[in-house]
A and B are shown apart, each in its own frame.
Chain A
Amino acid sequence: AQKVTQAQTEISVVEKEDVTLDCVYETRDTTYYLFWYKQPPSGELVFLIRRNSFDEQNEISGRYSWNFQKSTSSFNFTITASQVVDSAVYFCALSGADNYGQNFVFGPGTRLSVLP
């Protein structure tokens, strides 16, 4: 069975601080996809990143960076110099290779509050 764990339920930081959101996953598949989504109060899901299981390169996109460690089954997300607009719920998700990874298992989410 597939499972995603986000141990941090809520995090509060002060603007400009760096923050790391943890994600640990379980799967028996050898090919799978990992995702991060942002859900602001309005509810829509904002896609942040997709990574397949064969690509362990870390990625940086502006203030966002991701650390994929297959050895520990983790896919952590770091926001550098956080801003108030980063306040949202962040979901880590896992999908198998069927249908190119459409069928998601979401983690419970981490609610990030960035205080001015």
Chain B
Amino acid sequence: GAVVSQHPSWVICKSGTSVKIECRSLDFQATTMFWYRQFPKQSLMLMATSNEGSKATYEQGVEKDKFLINHASLTLSTLTVTSAHPEDSSFYICSAQPAGVNTEAFFGQGTRLTVV
């Protein structure tokens, strides 16, 4: 099946710094990618839809100035957590699907962010 790769798998950063997470579709092009957040022992919640070449669409309650999304190419979307705080500590996971193909979405392996 198609492969979606996230980098890094885990990251620890200090409060106030910014962290960038990459989501790459390795063997297919994806015009749309999705970013989810999962707090410990909770479900996955959609944060935003990343659209290649245009602005991301954010879900209600998600601060777009804090969670910057860039989808500059058909194989790469990035999520930057700006001015991170301990409450941003979470598991972030992306998904993507080959453009125009009716298949299931493929998820990255996730990034565990810890803000200290």
**Which residues of chain A have a CB within 8 Å of any CB of chain B?**
35, 37, 42-45, 47, 50, 91, 99-109
Residue of B46, B93, B104 near A47 (CB, 8 A) is B104
Q: Do A45 and B97 contact each other (CB < 8 Å), given the known contacts A103-B46, A104-B44?
A: no
Number of A-B residue pairs with CB-CB distance less than 8 Å in the complex they form: 55
Which of B's residues lie within 8 Å of A, judged by CB?
1, 32, 34, 36, 42-46, 49, 91, 93, 95, 97, 101-110, 112
In the complex, the answer to whether B32 meets A43 with C-beta atoms within 8 Å is no
Taking the closest CB of chain B, its distance from the CB of A23, in whole angstroms, is 12
User: Within 8 Å CB of A47, what residues of B?
Assistant: 1, 104, 106-107
Chain A, Cβ-Cβ closest to B102: A100
Given the known interface contacts A44-B109, A103-B34, the answer about A50 and B104 at a Cβ–Cβ threshold of 8 Å is yes
Instruction: Please give the distance in Å from B96's CB to the nearest CB on chain A.
Output: 8
Q: When chains A and B are docked, how far (Å) is the Cα of A104 from the Cα of B35?
A: 11
Residues on the B chain within 8 Å of A37, using CB: 107
Assess the A45–B93 pair: CB atoms within 8 A: yes
Chain B residues within 8 Å of A44, by CB:
107-110
Tell whether, in the assembled complex, residue B43 and residue A99 are in contact, meaning their CB atoms are under 8 Å apart.
Answer: no
Chain A residue at minimum C-beta to C-beta distance from B45:
A106
Residue of B nearest to A105 (CB): B46
